[in-house]
Structures are given as structure tokens and as C-alpha cells.
Structure 1
Amino acid sequence: MDFLNTAFTFPTVIYSTLLLIVLLFWLISLAGFADPDMLDGDADIEAEGGADGGSLWQMGFGGVPLTVSISLIVALSWVVSYYAQKLFAYLLGDGVMFYLIGSAFMLGSLVVALPLAAALVRPLRGVFDSQQTSSKDALVGLECVIATGKVTTTFGQARVSHEGSEQLIEVRCDEENTFTQGDKALLIEHNATTHSYTIVTNPW
């Protein structure tokens, strides 16, 4: 009860909620209904455009899926916040000061967690680089089913079955209005820059 009381009271409850969302995402991903790389395309576009957010990810968290980096940050922030609240709860005070100091605890936990997460990411880069290259190329040539209402040069998702699991992937098509939800298509090329696949009408 003491653990639950700390985990589900402010400020740690914020990170507890985020941690539950992260765990739910990975359960959905393991079931094949979400792609761990689903956020990487937008991050790469921001980085190419020179956005500060993209530069930050490239400097500290590049080389692994963005979902992995976010998961590590949330998990470590939760750990730091939990123990900070556990050890220094007497500093929180009452009333307005409770929320002001609690917010400072929450932000401080994030500041501490960021470099720790970046340090954990570094040894994982080589593993993810090799695994992502082989797994992404393995999907080329497979049939997929369109999951969105349309597919354009910048938008579209599809489901593809591979090695007994179903994955949701980003797909692109040079000709708009060619595919609608439920149509079948053929994956012919993987674009590592946008983390998407080029699709064409299945010839058979």
C-alpha cells in the first residue's frame, strides 16, 4: 500500500500514468498492431529541417527507435520521481506549495532521467541498426493490406504478415487515389530515410 500510495499521488502519478501508457503500447506492439518505428519518420523529417527537437534526438538518442528512447525516459523519470518523493516527501508541504514543489520534483526527475536514458541508448545502437536493416528488407516483396482510407506520397499505413505476426507499417505510393482501405498491394522498396515502403498494385 505504501508503494501504491507513492506511485499514484502527485507528482509521481504523472509518470506512473505515462509508464502505463508505455507498457500498453509495447503490449500492443508485441501483438503486432503497432510498429515500434512508427514515430521515426516524423523525427527524421524534423532533423532534416533543422528543428531543435530533431537535433536533440539525433545528438542523444539517434540510432534506436524513438519509441524505445521515450520508453527509457519515462521509465527512468518514474524511478527518479518515485524515490525522490519517497525520500523527500516532507519537503512538499501543503496547499499550493505542494503542487509547486511537486512540479519541481517532476521536472527535476526528467532532467536527471534524460542523460541516464541517453547513456543507456548508446550501447543499443549497433544492435538496432543491424536488426532494423534485416527486418525491414525482409518485408520487401510481401503482400500488404491497406489500413488507411488513402495512400499518397506522404501518408498511408498498411498491415503485413511476417513470420507469424502482423505489423502496421508506413506505406507510400507515387500515384494518389490508387489505393483505399482494404485493398491489397505489393511492397517493392523500403525507404530508410522516411521509414516507409513504396507500394504498387499487386500484379497477381
Structure 2
Amino acid sequence: MGGFVAAALAFPTALFSFALVVVVGYWLVMLLGGLGFDALHGGHGVGHHPGHVGHGGNAGNVGHAGHAGHGAGGHHGTADAAHGGSGSHHHGGVLDRLGLGGVPVTVAVSLLVAVAWFVSLAGTVLTSGAPARGGVFAVALVAAWLGTRAVVRPLSRLFPEDRPATRGDFVGRVCVIRTGRVTAGFGQAEVTAEDGSTATVQVRTTEEAPGLTVGRTALIFDYDAERELFLVAPFDPSPPGI
């Protein structure tokens, strides 16, 4: 046991040992947070509070709330969010360039640290002297990259990339008019996204549509990217004969 501790605290293993402690601590906290709190609170974990519906009043804004990725607490989503400018949390810039993308950053980093620690520990036990230990450090880094890359590729299938929401997703959906009327120059409507969140968007008609008044339903059939608004037409969702 003493030999193991000595090897774990010797160069270069010590560099990865401290990183491994952080990684193990992180996953223990995640495990306890996911299991312990659910058991203590009768299955109700943190973050299960219902959100509030956000409404955006500007043409450049599409406000979502109450669901992941769409804002929170009724704050308005920005145009950048509507176009998905942030990208997925599955990817880190450096990790992508190393061929380690496709999984959460925490998973990739944990694998890198674990493989590097194991290889450096084995090399530390089998070698002695600064030059040899320096070679072990280099080998551990390369082995960690190759090993993690080999594991990440099949593992990435379990973490499909989330496609960011865009304004174009609203095309083809039914909305409810929220202004007194909708014309070619003015109008707002409320539309429900695929995830169940709602947004108030700017809408226009291509011609005068007297039937599009507050509370009526309309079909979003196009998006005008230049003016950042949606084109709608009267739509009755009720089946014929009702």
C-alpha cells in the first residue's frame, strides 16, 4: 500500500492524481445530488419548479420561458438565442479540435484524467530517474488522448446533439392573435413551441384579413428574415361540421 501511495504522489503521477481527486469528487457530488436529494424529498429533486411564460414585444425578440434552453422566470429570449448562436453544451472548442467532441465536456475530461493517471502510475512503477519519468509523462498524455478518443466515438451516440431552436421552427404552427387585429403593418400572436413553451411573436398578413382579431387562430406559413416577423393567414382548427 505504501508503494502505491508513493507512486501516486511521485512525478508525473502526482499531477494527474490531484486532477483525479477533483474528478472523483465531482462525480460523487453529482451522484449524491441525483440520488440522495430525491430520496430525502420523496422523489422531488431540485429544479422541478414550474416556469413562467415569457412574452417578447419587439420584432427582434422571440421570448420563451419555462423550459430548458428557452429562458427562465419570464425573461425575454434574444434574437441570438432564437437563432441558436450558443451551440450545444456537448462540445468544447479545444476538445472538438482534438477529436473528443460529441459528449459532455465533463465526460471527456474525466476520461482524459483517468487514462492519463493509470498510464502514468504504471510508468512510474516501472521506471526511475527524471529522464524516464519525463518520457512517462509524455506517453501518458498521448495515451490519454488516444484512449479517450477511442471511447468517445461510440459513446457520442448516447449523447445526441441538441439542435438549437430557430424562428423557422414556428412555420407551420397555429398561433392565437393577441392584438386587436392583424394587418400588413401591425400584429402580434402567441405561438406554442414543440417543447410546450410559448412565445409572443410579431405577425403580419399579406393582405387585409378582417377575421384576424384578438383571440382568433391563424396559421404561420412563412418567416420574413429581413423584417424578423412571421406571415399568417386565417385558420380554423375545428374539423368541418363542428
Q: As a proportion of its length, which structure holds more helix?
A: 1
Give the TM-score, by structure 2 length.
0.40
Larger Rg: 2
Greater RCO between the two (CA within 8 Å, min separation 6)? 1
